[in-house]
Structure 1
Amino acid sequence: MPKIAVLGVGRVGYTIAKTLSQKYTVYAVDCSETALRKLHSLDNLHTIHGDLNNPTSLEKIGNQVELVVNALPSHLGYSTLQTILKLQKNIVDISFFSEDPFQLDNLAKSNRVCAVVDSGLAPGLSNLFLGYYENQLPITHFECMVGGLPLERTLPFQYAAPFCPRDVLEEYIRPARFKKNGNILSQDPLQNLNLIEIPTVGTLECFLTDGLRTLLYTSAVPNMEEKTLRYPGHLQCIRVLKAANLLQTESVEFQGTSLRPIDFTAHQLKECWQFKNGQKDITIMLLRMKTPSKTLSFRLWDTYDTITSTSSMARTTGFTCCAVVELLLQGSWKSTGVQPLEFVGKDEKAFRWILNYLTSRGVQLSQSEEKFPDKPNPDSP
């Protein structure tokens, strides 16, 4: 039975470790004994309490397994990926680090291993869809709108964090890159917002975020953007935090101590944004791809699983990651180097496998198509 290490067992990492342990031997690793305790009773699962900021600890763990899942916070993601690739291990990564993963492409190829990066929902499943359809159609515009939201709205933030609050804050401070007429541009994600009506949900606000990532360089689609969905009023709260310099990443001196305001803010928001036991959530992803003749629309919808007590964001992100893990372990994807999911999506069998993996677990996916009327021929009588 193949052995897998899951690094980081927060809400999403826990779901990944639990799901994979149903078929494989899993080593779940975290610095939190509390997080690991939830996994103690599961078969085929071993817990390891360790400092994952320590390369020696990573090497010891990595040498025991065939494949690694990197579900660590973003500030640890890139260095962890690099360490695992040096150990000549395949890795599936959902850590959302800010660095360019293709800087490690030569390392992965020279060690003849595969690093499937951004293997979550968006980035991740959104990339998979675009990779598949761009391989078949002359797509001119791509838009992704995505959000995970608590079912119950509670002021002032109307939000609960499905993963590390510090990484949620990254969505509000990283310049949001997008493509317009083939040019890569960027803007402050807090600069503009739009309102959108979504059936069964109502009015949501959406704003540009930096979720295209590898697609900016791997896709030839000339117009692309990714937006995050929140309940109306949420973004104004974030703007207040920014105006008060509470999202500042540079260190400041306070009463003889050096600290980064954004780290303090994330710490203070941890309890405020924490999902309560049994708190229900929804996850929505809307994709639009436009060609000269039609627009393709895709909708992903998922809700809290009351039977397994699993959040929808943990399900959609975690199941996508697990599907990729199984794809590699089965030998169905053998390419080496850094492989974002738009590369995987070009393979129809791999594309179908991942979608079937999600839908068989209750994630709802639907598709619609709008054809444009034929333009009249000016030469016709």
Structure 2
Amino acid sequence: MQPIVALGCGLVGEYVIHRLADDGHQVAAVDVRIPKSLVNRKEVLSIEQDAYQYVESLKEPAVIINMLPGRIGHDIRIPLIRGGHNIVDLAFTEEDPQTLDAMAKQHSATMIWDIGIAPGLSNMLLAQAQRELGAMDDVRIRVGGNPTQPDNNWSYMAPFSPSDVIEEYTRPARIVEHGKVVTVPALTERHRIAVEGTDGMDAFLTDGLRSVLTTIQAEHMAEYTVRWPQHIDRWLAEGSSTPEAELLDAWKYDANRSEFTWMHVRCQRDDMIREWTIVDYGKDGSGSMARTTGLVTYALASLFATKGPEHCGLHSGVYAPELVSEATLSYVLSIFDEHGISVS
């Protein structure tokens, strides 16, 4: 097995590292602050250090999990690739990692990026639909992690880097209309949808399609973020004028508050429809978004470390999640089933 290095120990990173340690992997956890739950594990080497400095010190190729916030997650990809590492990348960056493909081939490195729930598992499901249906007429992804009930404040708490949430709300969204990629403002096409266990939630466009804009053939394709109506009302009224530090504090994750993650993927060609619904309410003290995002990351990191990227259908280069093998998708879904995440 290759050694595993995890860069970033936020809510998702902490969860991923625990799952790998549960399997007996020795994991080097690198962040400026390591959670106590990881420090106390014998399988985890806790390294409180700047991630860039640590990466530069590595002498041998390893499996590297990049779970740094999107604003700093791209620059570190270059030394990771030059080091010939196998990289499972969760950093939600505006920069396109595919621009590093030639460099990865040159240095015999493999990187799979956007490897969470959406983007990530959603991409794999679209690839499966395309295998079954061929070119599609309409593709819609709706996904969100939210408190189970709204409140009188923001009706939201960020299960991953709050700064990435702000990026999601402000970055223009790329969608496909009539077979062509077009760019529209984020938060447009707001509409009410039925979500089990609620009286209805709101969905709006965000820039989540990314790689599938060019790898999946569809006449119309879009991804929507799902939130409580009260949350998006307040963001539209106050978001741009509220200091980021204040938002980061207001959206701080509260492990004692009940929450859930919900995703619906629907693909249609003529009268043929392929769709999936994924629901999780968290378990054993772990939040639903950490679980649904982290288990995809964990699954690929585990496969990279034990069987190599080739087992997933990948070789040297940079790959989007929809390019993994069908067997890899089956493995990810089996991990979801094993951990009690509903897939229907």
* TM tier relative to shorter chain: over 0.9
Hey, what does 1:343 align to over in structure 2? Answer: 323
Distance 2:240 2:294 in 1: 34
Hey, what does 1:297 align to over in structure 2? Answer: 275
- Counterparts of 1:298-317 in structure 2, within 5 Å, are 298-305=276-283, 307=284, 309-317=285-293
Tell me how far 1:296 sits from its aligned partner: 1.7
Hey, what does 1:319 align to over in structure 2? Answer: 295
Tell me how far 1:242 sits from its aligned partner: 4.6
Indicate if the aligned counterparts of 1:197 and 1:204 stay in contact, CA closer than 8 A: yes
In structure 2, which of residues 189, 201, 214 is the aligned counterpart of residue 204 of structure 1? 201
Indicate if the aligned counterparts of 2:138 and 2:218 stay in contact, CA closer than 8 A: yes
Cα gap change, 1:132/1:336 in structure 2, threshold over 3 Å: closer, same or farther? farther
Per-residue CA distance 1:294-346 (angstroms, 9 max, x = gap) = 122210000121x2x100000000000011112222131242211111101xx
Where 2:194 maps in the other structure, the secondary structure is: strand
Distance 1:123 1:63 in 2: 32
Indicate if the aligned counterparts of 1:30 and 1:36 stay in contact, CA closer than 8 A: no
Distance 2:300 2:16 in 1: 11
Q: How many residues align?
A: 338
Hey, what does 1:87 align to over in structure 2? Answer: 83
Hey, what does 1:46 align to over in structure 2? Answer: 45
Per-residue CA distance 1:239-292 (angstroms, 9 max, x = gap) = 123553x5xxxxxxxxxxxxxxxxxx3322222111224222100000000011
Indicate if the aligned counterparts of 1:5 and 1:65 stay in contact, CA closer than 8 A: no
Distance 1:66 1:320 in 2: 19
Q: Rg larger in 1 or in 2? A: 1
Indicate if the aligned counterparts of 1:3 and 1:64 stay in contact, CA closer than 8 A: no
In structure 2, which of residues 100, 107, 120 is the aligned counterpart of residue 104 of structure 1? 100
Hey, what does 2:27 align to over in structure 1? Answer: 26
- Counterparts of 1:220-239 in structure 2, within 5 Å, are 220-239=217-236
- Counterparts of 1:1-381 in structure 2, within 5 Å, are 1-23=1-23, 24-32=25-33, 35-52=34-51, 55-60=52-57, 62-63=58-59, 66-138=62-134, 139-244=136-241, 246=242, 265-305=243-283, 307=284, 309-329=285-305, 330-331=307-308, 332-333=311-312, 334-344=314-324, 347-366=325-344
TM-score (ref. length: structure 1): 0.85
Indicate if the aligned counterparts of 2:158 and 2:252 stay in contact, CA closer than 8 A: yes
Distance 2:255 2:138 in 1: 40
Tell me how far 1:355 sits from its aligned partner: 1.1
Per-residue CA distance 1:89-134 (angstroms, 9 max, x = gap) = 0000111010011100111111122101000010000001011221
Per-residue CA distance 1:185-239 (angstroms, 9 max, x = gap) = 1211133410011222221000000000011122222211000000012112111
Per-residue CA distance 1:25-63 (angstroms, 9 max, x = gap) = 10111112xx432311113111000112xx333221x43
Cα gap change, 1:13/1:243 in structure 2, threshold over 3 Å: closer, same or farther? closer
Indicate if the aligned counterparts of 2:21 and 2:43 stay in contact, CA closer than 8 A: yes
Structure 1 runs of 4+ with >4 Å offset:
none
Distance 2:244 2:20 in 1: 30
Distance 2:110 2:273 in 1: 34
Per-residue CA distance 1:135-190 (angstroms, 9 max, x = gap) = 23122211100000012322221000001111110111000110011111121113
Distance 1:171 1:160 in 2: 14
Q: What residue ranges of structure 2 are gaps of 5+ in the alignment? A: none
Where 1:191 maps in the other structure, the secondary structure is: coil
Where 1:269 maps in the other structure, the secondary structure is: helix
TM-score (ref. length: structure 2): 0.94
Percent identity of paired positions between Structure 1 and Structure 2: 30
Where 2:75 maps in the other structure, the secondary structure is: helix
Indicate if the aligned counterparts of 2:129 and 2:274 stay in contact, CA closer than 8 A: no
Hey, what does 1:257 align to over in structure 2? Answer: none
**Cα root mean square deviation, aligned:** 1.5
Indicate if the aligned counterparts of 1:74 and 1:96 stay in contact, CA closer than 8 A: yes
Q: What residue ranges of structure 1 are gaps of 5+ in the alignment? A: 247-264, 367-381
Indicate if the aligned counterparts of 2:177 and 2:221 stay in contact, CA closer than 8 A: yes
Distance 1:2 1:25 in 2: 9
